[in-house]
Chains A and B, each alone.
Chain A
């Protein structure tokens, strides 16, 4: 068995250990194998037995989780019932707050998005109007063209920041909702 195969097998057997700890641990055994060669591998035993020893010495043994598991499960069922009761009873408050939050976020989004759109519309209209008026009343036409160019410039200037702001608002909105969920239910959705 090569070192890489050994480490892959070992990693498979250590899935119970959190990712960061596992990577650190594997790094240690990788170096041990690289420094010690075949003799080191023989000493460590098969990946399965080594994993067994590691799990035992770090309190991840087969027996411990099954002994611990029933308790939190029972608790979590009553926990869920309590939470749903609270959710239903307090709905007049949180529902209206949620609606208010939604509307504020939506109006903010609209305001930000409308800035470049209205500027672009103003630019198109003013340039069109200016071009037509140029042949009837030169001064008004030039004024119209000027306003149009000004608006077009502003559109170009503001389009990117507004787009970024819209994206940031959406992201913030999503984070807030996600955190609300996490706080209420104590886990990822």
Chain B
């Protein structure tokens, strides 16, 4: 367990950024997030659900090997939110770096 657990807001921002690159589906999102940070599948589903409820993401079904795969797509509200997340993250990072990266002097 890391000393800095990933917060819900960060997960929202990360998933939004992933989906912004290209429309993608649940399994791939989960895998890409898990490649970098350790979160469980049961943590990621609520993230997707919340982003949909906030209308940051919409879904559509696309046939794949004889079944339907649900794809997630970012909305314009989602893009706005992502821009805000990036600004916030930048500010946050600078605040912490001020202490941790030796800018204090």
Residues of A within 8 A of B (CB): 24-25, 27-29, 31-32, 34-36, 40, 43-44, 50, 53-54, 57-58
A interface SS class: helix
Scan B36-47; emit 1 where CB is below 8 A from any A CB, else 0: 000011110110
Contact between chains at A54 and B42 (CB < 8 Å)? yes
CB-based contact A44/B70 at 8 Å: no
Interface size class of B (residues with CB under 8 A): 10 to 19
Q: Which residue of A lies closest to B34 (CB)?
A: A43
Could you name 20 residue pairs across A and B whose Cβ atoms are closer than 8 Å? A24-B49, A25-B49, A27-B70, A28-B26, A28-B45, A28-B48, A29-B45, A31-B26, A31-B69, A31-B70, A32-B27, A32-B30, A32-B41, A34-B67, A35-B25, A35-B69, A43-B41, A50-B41, A50-B42, A54-B45
**CB-defined contacts of A34 to chain B, threshold 8 Å:** 67
Q: Among A25, A27, A40, which residue has its beta carbon within 8 angstroms of that of B27? A: A40
Instruction: Find chain B residues with CB under 8 A from A31 CB.
Output: 25-27, 69-70
